[in-house]
Amino acid sequence: MRLSKLVGNRYKEVPADISVMSHIMLLRGGYIRPVTNGIFSLYTPTKLIAQKIEAIIRKEMNYIDGQEVSMPVVMPQSMWEESGRYYSIGNEMVRFRDRTGSGMVLGMTHEEAAVHLVKDAASTYKSYPFMIYQIQTKFRDEARSRGGLIRVREFTMKDAYSFHTSQEDLDEYYEKCHLAYERIFALAGLPEVVSVKSDSGMMGGSVSHEFMLLCDAGEDTIVVCSECDYRANIEATSCIIESSSAEGSNEEITEVYTPDTTDIASVADFLKVPASMICKAIVYETEKEAGLAVVFIRGDLEVNEAKLRNIIDSDIFVARAEESAKVFENGFIGPRFIPEGIKVYIDESLKGIKSLVAGSGKKDYHIKGYCFDRDYNMPEYVNIAKPFDGCICPNCKKPAIKLTRGIEVGNIFELGQKYTKAMDMTYADINGELMNPIMGCYGIGVGRLIGSICEAKHDEHGPIWPITVAPWKVHICAVRADMEDVKTTAETLYSKLKQLGIEVIFDDRNLRAGAMFADADLLGVPVRVIVSPKNIENSRVEVVTRDKKYSDFYAIDDAVQRITELIEKLEKEIMSNVPNY
């Protein structure tokens, strides 16, 4: 490809109001063009990167016996009614009526379509296990698309669905797929992607992992133990929070006058007790039952709302003051006065504390000496406190938890029989009995992975594409292409490399060197070959890698051979980080 013909502009200017680095780089480098909020067209370099990534994914999926299929973007509403998700998913799913008035949806995931596709094709146990996958367009009407390709509304995704006759078989396949995923990310140049335990969310199922690129631009919070290999999405973690005063004294409950102390800070200040000895009450409104729920938690802690959401099995939000005031004395809510019909959740952090300050239920009064174990009628504790740096790892029990941020680039779920039961997919087992297969599902967002690679691999001048996914492997810069020698040498090199099947981009524009190199930096091609009058004079070309780790001069006669070797070296570096099957 000649750069003079490449469609797409590159810009020196940093776009205003954009903070995610990969977003900036992809806009500046002529990779993406926003069509509307969360929807992009992709220029050729991005399409080439996507194809490389898709080829990597395809190879690994085929290796673990995946069969590539194709399911539609537009699906009938009726199919989603069968699984029940037509009702449980909110307005992130696009719904419309076709010309005949039939309800249709745009696919944001394809569990239903996968079951529909294989339902009649696997009626005996002999056909199992099997896995189907596709690499296909999906649409999810995100309220908050952001970060360029990191979170979009329309995206290309590899989604795979496996079908099994036993939990053991699924577990085994799940592990295989986990390894395939590690290989895929390492092959794409991101060996630093880690898997973390995750929350299954709307997918249903139990065991699940997310593959995370840990970086500041991530929008997920990840809990990582610095002493063992424990890692989890904050939504799925169960960190242990030691009750700081399990040994406190066993005193009587007394009421104290605490005028105008409606928050933890003012109560702590007024009564001279630490926040960790105060029982905090937070009232939530739930979407599901349209009712209120109250959470009690240690005064120095926050609620992990994702976990609470899962426990309540409904979307939740902190109650509006006026809603809460209908049944509670806001600011003085306590465990002794819970109105009828209000569900109570007590966080484990309160367990064992013998003497708490808590709301009295009456305006301007708190109580002292409250102990849930003693004074609450059979308390059931739940783990819904948000972890913090230094809290206790649920695995190794050391106070070594760190919070970090991550971009989810893939996920794997054990789905169980949720969909096969709902959609009545059965097979005859060895005894002729009809059973529902057990499913797993496995996703990777192709565009998000491109954004993530860019996020992890760039310098201030542009992306540094790993050689396995780079749009081209070699970038030839012909400085002073108006000079015959330069032109001939560059053209010869270009055609020789192309003949060898090496992907080359050739900057034939005869710009000044600075502008040329700035563009080369933005295109991020791993091997740069500079043909210039000075180099030609010395019968050589200059070769540098985009990451600046390697730089040398090659004799013109040797150049093709040595460039080929350099490419192999870079590829081997990538391969050295890929785990084996």
Applying CB under 8 A, the residues found at the interface with a copy of itself are: 1, 4-9, 30, 33, 35-37, 39-44, 46-48, 50-51, 65, 67-76, 78-79, 91-92, 94-96, 98-100, 102, 104, 106, 113, 116-118, 120-122, 126-127, 130, 132, 134, 136-137, 139, 141, 143, 153-154, 156
How many C-beta atoms lie closer than 10 Å to residue 389's C-beta? 12
CA atoms of 169 and 416, how far apart (whole Å): 12
CA atoms of 277 and 368, how far apart (whole Å): 10
Residue 487, judged by CB atoms within 10 A of its CB (0-12, 13-18, 19+), counts as middle
**What is each CA distance from 46 to 34, 53, 84, 571, in whole angstroms?**
13, 10, 37, 20
> What's the min distance (Å) between Cβ of 500 and a copy of itself?
17
How many C-beta atoms lie closer than 10 Å to residue 218's C-beta? 21
CA atoms of 380 and 221, how far apart (whole Å): 27
Classify each residue of 119-156 as buried b or exposed e, where b means 16 or more C-beta atoms within 10 Å of its C-beta: beebeebeebbbbbbbbbebbbbbeebbbbbbbbbbbb
Token look-up 């060895």 returns 430
CA-nearest of 171, 209, 206 to 193 is 209
Nearer to a copy of itself, 523 or 541 (CB): 523
CA atoms of 430 and 128, how far apart (whole Å): 12
> What's the min distance (Å) between Cβ of 414 and a copy of itself?
20
CA-nearest of 111, 187, 91 to 413 is 111
Q: Strand pairing partners for 540?
A: 555
Which tokens belong to 533?
């009058």
CA atoms of 84 and 91, how far apart (whole Å): 15
Residue 425, judged by CB atoms within 10 A of its CB (0-12, 13-18, 19+), counts as buried
> What's the min distance (Å) between Cβ of 164 and a copy of itself?
14
Which tokens belong to 210?
């997310």
Cis-peptide into 129, omega within 30 deg: yes
Q: Strand pairing partners for 444?
A: 158, 410
How many C-beta atoms lie closer than 10 Å to residue 578's C-beta? 16
| Residues 382 and 346: beta-carbon distance below 8 Å | yes
- DSSP-derived 3-state class of residue 486: helix
Which tokens belong to 53?
């990534």
Which tokens belong to 61?
């999926």
Q: Strand pairing partners for 416?
A: 439
Largest CA distance in the chain: 97
> What's the min distance (Å) between Cβ of 38 and a copy of itself?
9
- Relative to beta strand 540-545, strand 551-555 is antiparallel
| Residues 61 and 68: beta-carbon distance below 8 Å | yes
* Residues 6+ away with beta carbon under 8 Å from 350: 243, 279, 296, 297, 298, 356, 372, 381
